[in-house]
Amino acid sequence: MMTHLTSKVLLILAGKTLATAESCTGGMIGQMLTAVPGSSNVYKGGIISYTNEIKHKLLGVDKTLLDREGAVSAPVAKAMAEGARQALNADIAVSVTGLAGPGGNDYGNPVGTVYIGYADDRGAEAVSFLFSGDRDAVRAQAAEAALELILSKN
């Protein structure tokens, strides 16, 4: 099912380029996309920004935004997608930042909170989710939601 979804994304984006910015999924979306032979026609690559330092350094996410809103927030998801689109010079970028658990964070987000960002030439936006299940389940649902968001926008 996941391979089907990934192939659908690559097919619908034919002629365009895609980049990813992953925090809590840690490379899962990139790994799924690149499981498909020929994916390099669409997928240019991504940045795994597992720490705030990397979100700032490589994706250009504002430090005060990270401090004020927390990494798990809609504005940061949006900024990550915008940053990935720019850093990788891609038509479209998708981002994931969330709290997969088991531990919490300092901003009071419940475990399972995930923000998915999307950016293209029309602008950027973020969608929020609250997934249930353990760390693996939250991460898998987040990756799937990111791919679904790309489909819904193209």
Query: Of these, 22, 82, 120, 144, which contacts a second copy (CB under 8 A)?
Result: 22
Q: Is 152 exposed, middle or buried (0-12, 13-18, 19+ CB in 10 A)?
A: exposed
Least Cβ distance, residue 151 to a second copy (angstroms): 20
List binders of a second copy among 134-153 (CB under 8 A).
Answer: 135-136, 139
Query: Of these, 2, 31, 68, 104, which contacts a second copy (CB under 8 A)?
Result: 31
First to last CA, the chain: 20
The one segment of 8-16, 61-69, 85-93, 121-129 that binds a second copy by CB under 8 A? 85-93
Q: Does 58 bind a second copy (CB under 8 A)?
A: yes
Q: Does 57 bind a second copy (CB under 8 A)?
A: yes
Total of residues contacting a second copy (CB under 8 A): 39
The answer for residues whose C-beta is within 8 angstroms of residue 60's C-beta and 6 or more apart is 79, 82, 83, 86, 87
Query: Of these, 29, 93, 94, 146, which contacts a second copy (CB under 8 A)?
Result: 29
Please name which of 47, 105, 121 lies closest in space to residue 73, comparing C-alpha atoms: 105
Q: Is 50 exposed, middle or buried (0-12, 13-18, 19+ CB in 10 A)?
A: middle
Decide whether 92 or 123 has the Cβ nearer to a second copy: 92
Decide whether 102 or 123 has the Cβ nearer to a second copy: 102
Q: Is 86 exposed, middle or buried (0-12, 13-18, 19+ CB in 10 A)?
A: middle
| Tokens 């809609």 belong to residue | 74
Task: Please report, as ranges, the residues that interact with a second copy according to CB under 8 A.
Answer: 20, 22, 24-31, 33-35, 37-40, 43-51, 53-54, 57-58, 87-89, 101-103, 135-136, 139
